[in-house]
Structure 1
Amino acid sequence: MRLALALLLASALPALSAPCGGDFKDFKAAMAAEARAMGLAESAIEAFMAGAQVDKAVLKADRGQGFFRKNFIEFSQALISKSRLQNAGVYSKKHDRSFDEAARRFGVPRGMILAFWAFETDFGAVQGDFDTRNALMTLAHDCRRPELFQPQVLAAIALTAMGDFEPGVTKGAWAGEIGQVQMLPKDILERGEDGDGDGLITLKTSAPDAILSAAHMLQYHGWRPNEPWLQEVVVPEQMDWSQAGIDKALPASQWAQMGVRAREGDLANLQASLLLPMGRKGPAFLAYPNYKVLFEWNKSFVYVTTAAYFATRIEGAAPYDAGDPEPGLSADQMKALQQRLAAKGYDVGKIDGVLGAMTRAAVQKEQAKAGMPADGWPTPALLGKL
């Protein structure tokens, strides 16, 4: 039944047509019609739509994700603590069998799953108290990202029909994610795993379900077994910094020829991108192909890099060398930078004060034009030149 519903939902996606931004009652009726067209049970549709309402707190949270404005060192220090690292060891031992199964079936190491489990909910302790049904309906009705959230509403109705979702009772994050590893309904429907063998997929209460489901999701998006994802490196004082960045990759052997060396162990014989989250004077990493898979979990560069780094710590790597980065920009300065880059024709996405991948790429090009080291780290000096 689960596979049939997942396939039915996937085939229905191009036809989604519920209006966004208009009367909410009309929107509910349109979404119910979409669900009926899929053949979902009327009882599940009625149970889901009854009492559904807009949650203004969800919209406020969606508009104000200021936490991602922190730089890599600030962000990683905020998320990675001694207690989280210790708890990762505790939960690794407690659920050793599930982690072994995740590695065997999906090729995903426990460190990566533990990192997301820690960051998302502190190993299940803080799963969010937003009404998930209302959160999904609010974001599906809002016109910012309806193409993402309308399918999630249909998936939640499908989960309701299967007994894996309780409308008005199920709670989670403001963006509709559910359970200990915070997965959206469509991912649960399509890649959820019954890790404890009870016949249900209950990510809120079952750690084995959460562990196996997280592994399945990463494998689905392209995780390659027995390969690294991130490795701290030491960079030379001088090199062609324009080769750095997530949008570029070279064989590790070429990075070695440029003077890049592993801080621990050897470089992997793989394509890799040189990441300089805070410029050439700050922490440095080689990101291997598995690193990019993590953006299917979260789109934030600083979050993904921190999660990838934390996973290496769980697996035994040493703390990174923070170096001595050049001073960066404040949130207002970053917005000013983005505005000036946009005026020059660069696509930096939303002017939000967040140093994302597109802003970094534009910064790197402007640094090169100005004869500055093109390491993608914006400084007051660059802002002044613009």
Structure 2
Amino acid sequence: MKTTLLPRLVYGCLFSAALSSVALAQTPATAPCGGDLGAFLAGVKAEAATQGVPANIADQALEGAVIDPKVLARDRAQGVFRQTFLEFSQRTVSQGRLDIGRNKMKQYADAYARIQNEFGVAPGVVTAFWAMETDFGTFQGDFNTRNALVTMAHDCRRPQIFRPQLIALMEMVQHGDLNPQTNTGAWAGEIGQVQMLPKDIIEHGVDGDGDGHINVKASSPDAILTAAKFIQSMGFVAGQPWLQEVTLPENLPWEKSGLGNEIPASEWFKYGVTPRDGDTAFGNLKAALILPQGRKGPAFLTYPNFNVYLQWNQSFIYTTSAAYFATRLSGAPPYLKGNPEPGLDDTGMKALQTKLEALGHDIGKVDGILGSGTRVAVQTEQKRLGLPADGWPTQALLSALQ
């Protein structure tokens, strides 16, 4: 999830509960959402004028704007990850993508030197997002950006998120950085090779190629530097790790694992958690032990920089895969797959969630998805039943609960 905006929408991630189901009361003066489109657009223009956008620019940006029903359909039909970490990461962090990413880092060496010197962001971090968001700019979305933002701002579910984006788009038009008639991107208004929203581009845009414009759609240097500046703004600390693969002893206090259970990395080392790269220099940093497929699968320590990934996208599987991708581009070897215990199929997951809900756990919807609420509930019940509390739902846990 972006710091002040919205969770990333690539690969069908859900909006957070805090931002969903929000409807603002309309007033004739501002027409914040819904109703007649002409009145709504007039309200947007009036608001834009108070923020210094010239009337002719607002007219130019919104001329011919329409509601796109395909955008609304995509918004209502957002899916979620049903793949395991091994399945998703093996597909997205392919050797071909790694090779392309390394070549891109050589091709744009000057831009990458700048992001390290000016923003303290490791090249692999930006490159992995570039790969996962648009396959290095190959597919950036085919929705008209202006219409997508008009549609999402007019819709009364989250106008407080998208109305400012529409005004930021006007600023991009004013700067000559976007053609509202032809610019395309993601269905939720994200633009360019790393898929950023207009407000983020206005606030963090960098002219990487020196042509006087910020074109994150066509210019790779612009996209690379703009993404890096944005990542820095989310709190990325230069010189610190974000994800570190580890090997595990047979026995650990498994209930201490999971996001949100950070302790100094040095304490994990004392428990016998061992970095594969042998680097224990960051033992003073807080770290969480994450086990995407339980204690018998891949294992990682996450450090404070991992929070940037959680702000970029709220999906645990996407986030962990993107962070792992960045470590590979930074020299790490392929992770050890291990031998995870078989998980539950859709029917089994729904049966488990139904049981967990009956036991009083807040797991959200019974949907067959292993979300954060279900992981926490699983871990709690594993501990209660004397099972290794690694948060990975198995048939053994379901049988024990039945």
TM-score, scaled relative to structure 2:
0.86
Letter in 2 for 1:193: V
Q: What root-mean-square deviation, in Å, do the aligned CA atoms of Structure 1 and Structure 2 show?
A: 2.3
Range with greater deviation from structure 2 (290-299 or 303-312): 290-299
Q: Distance in 1 between matches of 2:196 and 2:32?
A: 25
Q: Does 1:366 align with 2:381?
A: yes
Letter in 2 for 1:277: P
Q: CA deviation at 1:339?
A: 5.1
Range with greater deviation from structure 2 (123-132 or 136-145): 136-145
SS at match of 1:232: strand
Partner of 1:301: 316
**Cα distance, 1:103–1:350 mapped onto 2, change above 3 Å:** farther
Q: CA deviation at 1:178?
A: 0.5
Q: CA deviation at 1:381?
A: 3.5
**Cα distance, 1:35–1:353 mapped onto 2, change above 3 Å:** farther
**Cα distance, 1:337–1:230 mapped onto 2, change above 3 Å:** same
**Cα distance, 1:378–1:258 mapped onto 2, change above 3 Å:** same
Partner of 1:46: 59
Partner of 2:326: 311
Q: Distance in 1 between matches of 2:275 and 2:117?
A: 28
Task: After superposition, give the CA deviation of every residue in 1:147-171 in whole Å (9 maximum; x if it has no partner).
Answer: 3222211211221222212112110
**Cα distance, 1:24–1:68 mapped onto 2, change above 3 Å:** farther
Range with greater deviation from structure 2 (110-119 or 332-341): 332-341
Letter in 2 for 1:84: R
Q: Distance in 1 between matches of 2:335 and 2:150?
A: 42
Match of 1:195 among 183, 208, 211: 208
Q: CA deviation at 1:328?
A: 1.7
- Structure 2 unaligned spans of 5+: 1-23
Higher helix fraction: Structure 1 or Structure 2? 1
Q: Distance in 2 between matches of 1:336 and 1:27?
A: 46
Q: Does 1:161 align with 2:174?
A: yes
Range with greater deviation from structure 2 (124-133 or 93-102): 124-133
**Cα distance, 1:89–1:331 mapped onto 2, change above 3 Å:** same
Q: Distance in 2 between matches of 1:121 and 1:230?
A: 22
Q: Does 1:224 align with 2:225?
A: no
Match of 1:266 among 274, 279, 292: 279
Q: Distance in 1 between matches of 2:366 and 2:172?
A: 37
Alpha carbons 1:194, 1:201 under 8 Å: kept: yes
Q: Distance in 2 between matches of 1:22 and 1:123?
A: 39
Partner of 1:356: 371
Partner of 1:107: 120
Partner of 1:276: 291
**Cα distance, 1:135–1:359 mapped onto 2, change above 3 Å:** farther
Q: Does 1:250 align with 2:263?
A: yes
Match of 1:134 among 140, 147, 153: 147
Letter in 2 for 1:300: S
- Structure 1 unaligned spans of 5+: 1-13
Letter in 1 for 2:227: A
Q: Does 1:326 align with 2:341?
A: yes
Task: After superposition, give the CA deviation of every residue in 1:107-145 in whole Å (9 maximum; x if it has no partner).
Answer: 001011110011111111111111111111222233433
Partner of 2:9: none
Q: Distance in 2 between matches of 1:193 and 1:378?
A: 45
**Cα distance, 1:138–1:69 mapped onto 2, change above 3 Å:** farther
Partner of 2:301: 286
Partner of 1:70: 83
**Cα distance, 1:142–1:380 mapped onto 2, change above 3 Å:** farther
Letter in 2 for 1:243: K
Alpha carbons 1:246, 1:357 under 8 Å: kept: no
Alpha carbons 1:218, 1:294 under 8 Å: kept: no
Letter in 2 for 1:75: F
Q: Distance in 2 between matches of 1:365 and 1:169?
A: 52
Range with greater deviation from structure 2 (80-89 or 356-365): 356-365
Range with greater deviation from structure 2 (256-265 or 270-279): 256-265
Alpha carbons 1:368, 1:374 under 8 Å: kept: yes
SS at match of 1:66: coil
Partner of 2:253: 240
Equivalent residues in 2 for 1:140-159, closer than 5 Å: 140-159=153-172
Partner of 2:101: 88
SS at match of 1:274: strand
**Cα distance, 1:110–1:20 mapped onto 2, change above 3 Å:** same
Partner of 1:172: 185
Range with greater deviation from structure 2 (260-269 or 179-188): 260-269
Range with greater deviation from structure 2 (120-129 or 259-268): 259-268
Q: Distance in 2 between matches of 1:25 and 1:341?
A: 49
What percent of counterpart residues are identical? 53
Q: Distance in 2 between matches of 1:29 and 1:331?
A: 47
Alpha carbons 1:233, 1:285 under 8 Å: kept: yes
Alpha carbons 1:339, 1:351 under 8 Å: kept: yes
**Cα distance, 1:203–1:75 mapped onto 2, change above 3 Å:** same
